[in-house]
Amino acid sequence: MGMSALLGMEWVDIGPDFLKMKMPVSENTIQPYGLLHGGASCSLAETIGSIGSYLVIDNTKYICVGMEINANHIKGVRSGFVTATATPLHLGKSSHVWDIKLVNESGLLVCVSRHTVAIVDFDKIK
């Protein structure tokens, strides 16, 4: 079982220039004060950005691995779901950069993240 399953992440939608996933605010995703854990938000952001890159590379020649992630946690969430929307800022040959916004069930911005993914030649990691 991977991180996305442990945290309860689910697909919401995939479009031509975006991806959407949601994650529950639950005992698995909160910090001691009962708020959504920043690490869980980052995990959702990295998951959706990495999958976005996976969907656009040639998987017979390349793999995609997280290179950098940052996040600004803007609003606390105590219950319900957060939904992440990822849009590509750059889809280059050796790196991708994703803009990811997390919102609560009311549509209020919870977190803004930028995720950089390295595109690595599969033969170089054997």
**Cα distance between residue 93 and residue 105, in whole Å:** 36
Cβ pair 114, 100 in contact under 8 A? yes
How far lies 123's CA from each of 55, 91, 117, in Å?
Answer: 19, 21, 18
Q: Which residue has the higher pLDDT, 74 or 124?
A: 74
Three-state DSSP at 29 gives coil
Q: What is the pLDDT of residue 26?
A: 97
**Cα distance between residue 110 and residue 7, in whole Å:** 17
Listed by start position, the domains of the chain span: 3-125
Question: Per residue in 32-54, pLDDT tens?
Answer: 999 999 999 999 999 999 999 99
Q: What is the pLDDT of residue 122?
A: 87
Catalytic, 46? Answer yes
Tell me which DSSP letter residue 125 carries.
Answer: G
Average pLDDT over residues 107-126: 94
Active-site pick, 10, 27, 46, 105:
46
**Cα distance between residue 5 and residue 107, in whole Å:** 24
- Structure-token match 């599969």, residue found: 122
Protein fold of 3-125: Thiol Ester Dehydrase; Chain A (3.10.129)
**Cα distance between residue 95 and residue 117, in whole Å:** 5
What's the token pair of residue 19? Answer: 């991806």
